[in-house]
């Protein structure tokens, strides 16, 4: 039995909804096949017949072990650090977070809000929101840089707005099957198994990227979304084109530019006027270049790519 508690702070429930789309394993499989004992979840955790506060107190006092503490949503500190703008079961949610994080075997932040602060922490951050152990790129967050759960790990960050159900369930299964020690995390405490490759890895528009053929407007069945429409696929660590969404597709496959939601800066440029779904350029060259590519390299590459571009690249390739 692995005790799991899932709470939500400044959240939209999107990660819960995403989680409920899971298959292999489904939310029910986690319980029936992997012995996950969902102590409580805002929309699922029911079968205890105990009341929540008593349960929370049993956990914080160590009477009952808390193997996995899952947190969705931001830690709300407003107003003035009191957390009163997000009360839960009679006290500021942030106080529950403090107490539960202390006793948790593993602490898992799910979605951008819990990892980096996400949309609620966008300037001017009216709710004084933080992620559990980051605020945007800055390490520390609500629990502080030195926080370690009982298993000795910092907060396991599963970013994304929302996180993909597989990213969530696979980590939970890894812990439940005793493979927690094999989790290796990157500089943003994201499991490397998911967040080393790029969104672009596996994108069906990759050939258009290579030949610098651009989708100049929406609703076109060809072209890469990087050059004009602000796609962040080449700079974003995510497996969105390897592990498809809802078993079907990804944003870039469907024609929507990647917004880089697994990176701490999401939403990029804080949604300033002129930045949404538009590629930011500096004298014709994109401001943000594919990871690891410098400006001179990029200019050379594009000249060669354009020259080499075949005729089919301008045709409707994802045919009607």
Query: Comparing C-alpha atoms, which of 17, 24, 275 is closest to residue 172?
Result: 24
- Does 200 interact with ligand SF4 (rule: CB under 6 A)? yes
Pick from 2, 4, 5, 15: which binds other proteins (CB under 8 A)?
15
305 binds, among other proteins, ligand SF4, none (CB under 5 to 8 A by kind): none
- How many residues interact with ligand SF4 (rule CB under 6 A)? 24
43 belongs to the binding site for other proteins (CB under 8 A): yes
Can you name the residues that pair with 92 across neighbouring β-strands?
87
Could you say which of other proteins, ligand SF4, none residue 205 binds, taking C-beta under 5 to 8 angstroms by partner kind? ligand SF4
User: Both tokens of residue 301?
Assistant: 């590459």
Residue 73 near residue 115 (C-beta atoms within 8 A)? no
Give the whole-angstrom CA distance, residue 194 versus residue 185.
10
The rounded distance, in Å, linking the Cα atoms of 4 and 173 is 11
8-state DSSP, 284: T
The contact pattern for ligand SF4, residues 54-93, with x = CB under 6 A and - = no contact, is: ----------------------------------------
Strands 91-92 and 134-135: unpaired
Pure H helices in 146-223: 165-176, 192-195, 206-210
- Binding to ligand SF4, residues 121-160 (CB under 6 A): 160
Site stretch for ligand SF4 (CB under 6 A), options 61-69, 97-105, 200-208, 306-314? 200-208
To ligand SF4, the closest distance from the beta carbon of 278 in angstroms equals: 14
User: Tokens representing 98?
Assistant: 């403090």
**Closest CB 160 distance from other proteins, rounded Å:** 9
Check: CB of residue 213 under 8 Å from CB of residue 222.
yes
190 sits near ligand SF4 (criterion: CB under 6 A): no
**Part in contact with ligand SF4 (CB under 6 A); list of ranges 128-136, 199-207, 280-288, 295-303:** 199-207
| Residue 211 contacts residue 235 (beta carbons within 8 Å) | no
Contact region with other proteins (CB under 8 A), list: 74-82, 100-108, 147-155, 296-304 = 74-82
Q: Where are the alpha helices (DSSP H) in 129-269?
A: 165-176, 192-195, 206-210, 251-254
In the complex with other proteins, the residue whose CB is nearer, 80 or 184, is 80
236 binds ligand SF4 (CB under 6 A): yes
Which segments are annotated as binding site for [4Fe-4S] cluster?
12, 113, 161, 203, 224, 231
């Amino acid at each position: 039995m692995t005790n799991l508690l899932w709470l939500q702070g400044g959240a939209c429930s999107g990660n819960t909804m995403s989680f409920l789309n899971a298959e292999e394993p489904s939310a029910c499989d986690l319980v029936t096949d992997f012995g996950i004992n969902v102590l409580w979840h805002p929309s699922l955790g029911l079968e205890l017949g105990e009341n929540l506060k008593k349960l929370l107190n049993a956990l914080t006092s160590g009477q009952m072990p808390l193997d996995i503490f899952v947190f969705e949503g931001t830690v709300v500190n407003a107003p003035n650090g009191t957390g009163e703008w997000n009360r839960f079961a009679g006290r500021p949610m942030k106080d529950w977070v403090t107490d539960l994080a202390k006793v948790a075997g593993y602490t898992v932040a799910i979605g951008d809000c819990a990892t980096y602060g996400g949309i609620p922490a966008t300037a001017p951050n009216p709710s004084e929101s933080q992620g559990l152990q980051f605020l945007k790129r800055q390490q520390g967050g609500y629990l502080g840089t030195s926080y370690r759960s009982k298993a000795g790990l910092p907060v396991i960050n599963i970013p994304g707005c929302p996180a993909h159900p597989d990213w969530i369930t696979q980590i939970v299964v890894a812990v439940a099957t005793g493979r927690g020690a094999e989790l290796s995390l990157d500089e943003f405490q994201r499991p490397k198994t998911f967040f080393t490759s790029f969104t672009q890895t596996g994108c069906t528009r990759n050939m258009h990227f290579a030949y610098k053929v651009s989708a100049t407007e929406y609703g076109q069945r060809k072209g890469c979304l990087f050059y004009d429409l602000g796609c962040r696929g080449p700079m974003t660590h995510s497996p969105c084109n390897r592990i498809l969404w809802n078993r079907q597709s990804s944003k870039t496959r469907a024609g929507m530019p990647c917004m880089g939601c697994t990176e701490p800066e999401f939403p990029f440029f804080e949604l300033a006027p002129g930045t949404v779904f538009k590629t930011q350029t500096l004298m014709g060259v994109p401001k943000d270049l594919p990871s690891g590519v410098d400006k001179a390299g990029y200019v050379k590459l594009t000249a060669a790519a354009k020259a080499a571009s075949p005729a089919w690249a301008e045709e409707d390739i994802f045919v009607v």
